Structure 1
Amino acid sequence: MPDTVMIFAAGRGTRMGALTDAQPKPMVSVAGKPLLDHALQVVDGSEAISKIVVNTHYLADQIHTHLADRDVLFSHEEELLETGGGLKQALALRNMPELVTLNADATWSGPNPINALLKAWDPSRMDALLLMVPPENAIGHLGKGDFTMAPDGQLTRGPGLVYVGCQIIKSSRVAQVTDDVFSLNVVWDVIRQSSRLFGLSYSGRWCDVGHPGGIELAEQMLGDTHV
């Protein structure tokens, strides 16, 4: 069972415009606290996660200072390595054969997403388990979806469900990639070829806060559910 989460917090946040001129995207405030704290709230509410890894790049000192009182391992990227490359670099920090990854630019309404993944995780069949929502529950997200899901949970590329930036993945699949800079999409495509890429439909709602308009939408969503 995974005991580690990696929170992706290295992005430049260019879609946020002036909001990230002087602060990294994970420090943008939503409903009175930084986006990073919304991600940590999910982690703190999980049942099995005891170790936290955070990757950083742009204005990293602000994130390091904000987390100074937490037991966190930092993986600093001198140059942006994308999601796959960032995770590959972080694997050197500790032994984590399987782990949760979580994006730091979203808010959630509903059951704890990490707990949902942990309950469904079956390493005998899966090398990655991605959390998905139907487009109508992806607040602030543009697009027709990322994957379609078969009755047994296997994923294929195509419009349908939206990936919400939370997954369990086996680190060996990431370490096998020879490049230093690459997207997790590369890893998922390899896993899919061996029929070991699975999805889980999340019963709650998720708000994409990767753009300024997402802040108000996230606050409305959180207000509706009194989170």
Structure 2
Amino acid sequence: MIFAAGFGTRMGALTETRPKPLIEVGGRALLDRTLDLARDHGMTRIVVNAHYRAEQIEAHLAGSEVAVSVEMPDILDTGGGLRVALPLLGGGTVFTSNADNVWDGPNPFDVLADAWQPDRMDALLLTVPLSHAVGRKGDGDFAMAADGRLSRNGMRVYPGVQILKTEALADIPDRVFSLNAVWDRIAARGRLFGAHYPGRWCDVGHPEGIALAEAVLEGR
């Protein structure tokens, strides 16, 4: 599941006429860069959600194997968006990813798959040290214990890619909700874990992030 429904308000004028996932970095749309990684990992069932300028996302993906889950009339946030897309995904355990990431290192889906232990995990979040989060503004998101369990507030950043057992979504009564609500419930059961990403990640959530991401792609 690739999240592409947001308004991209931090991008300012760049998203006045197009959705953020279609902004190009290094001559390629951000959404396509994420799709490349998913396909390289061998994924054959891929869903992209859309809300803001959804018709552009649909047109961009027309003729591909990717299904589009259009959220109308309301945007449903990450948790609500994932839950409504489950019929397209088939349920069970899924990867989810934001669409505004640029990576300098191994395929993030490969890293997660190698670390996934379903007998002890309900969610596995990729994390990078704050020092390896290029363009990140603010503090980290999580602390990671020696056994890999995550807790709130620490120096590790969640770059928007995870493996999640979608059964956890059933615990949330709201229609519109963030995956943060799901993680908090999973953490309370001691089943929220993190995986270390050994490379760099660039946040392309703001205009300055484009130049930073292109520098990362060039190895700078």
TM range (shorter): over 0.9
1:200 aligns with 2:182: no
Determine the C-alpha separation between the residues in 2 that align with 1:84 and 1:144. Answer: 23
1:206, CA displacement in angstroms? Answer: 0.5
1:52-131 equivalent positions in 2, closer than 5 A:
52-78=46-72, 79-131=74-126
After superposition, the C-alpha distances for 1:164-222 in whole angstroms (9 at most, x for unaligned) are 10000000001221111111000000000000000001001110001000000000000
Q: C-alpha root-mean-square deviation of aligned residues, in Å? A: 1.0
User: Partners in 1 of 2:168 and 2:174 — Cα distance?
Assistant: 13
- Correspondence 1:172 to 2:128: no
The aligned counterpart of 1:222 is 217
1:184 is aligned, of 172, 179, 182, to: 179
Instruction: Determine the C-alpha separation between the residues in 1 that align with 2:93 and 2:131.
Output: 30
Query: Runs in 1 of length 4+ with deviation above 4 angstroms?
Result: none
CA distance in 2 between partners of 1:173 and 1:147 (Å): 20
Distance 1:179 1:17 in 2: 30
Between the aligned partners of 2:49 and 2:94, the Cα distance in structure 1 is 14
TM-score of the superposed pair, with normalisation by structure 1:
0.94
**Unmatched 5+ stretches in structure 1:** 1-5
* AA aligned opposite 1:189: D
Instruction: Write out per-residue CA displacement over residues 44-91 of structure 1, whole angstroms, 9 at most, x where no aligned residue.
Output: 2214x2110000001111111111121112111111111111111111
Q: Does 1:12 align with 2:45?
A: no
Residue 149 in structure 1 maps to residue 144 in structure 2: yes
Native 8 Å contact 2:45 2:89 kept in 1: no
**SS of the counterpart of 1:51?**
coil
Aligned to 1:51: 45
Gaps of 5+ in 2: none
Give yes or no for contact 2:108–2:197 (8 Å, CA) kept in 1. Answer: yes
Q: How many residues align?
A: 219
Q: CA deviation at 1:96?
A: 2.3
Inter-partner Cα distance in structure 2 for 1:177 and 1:71: 30
TM-score (norm: length of structure 2): 0.97
* Percentage of identical aligned residues: 54
Amino acid of the residue matched to residue 129 of structure 2?
P
**Contact 2:123-2:183 within 8 A present in 1 as well:** yes
| 2:219 aligned counterpart, secondary structure | helix
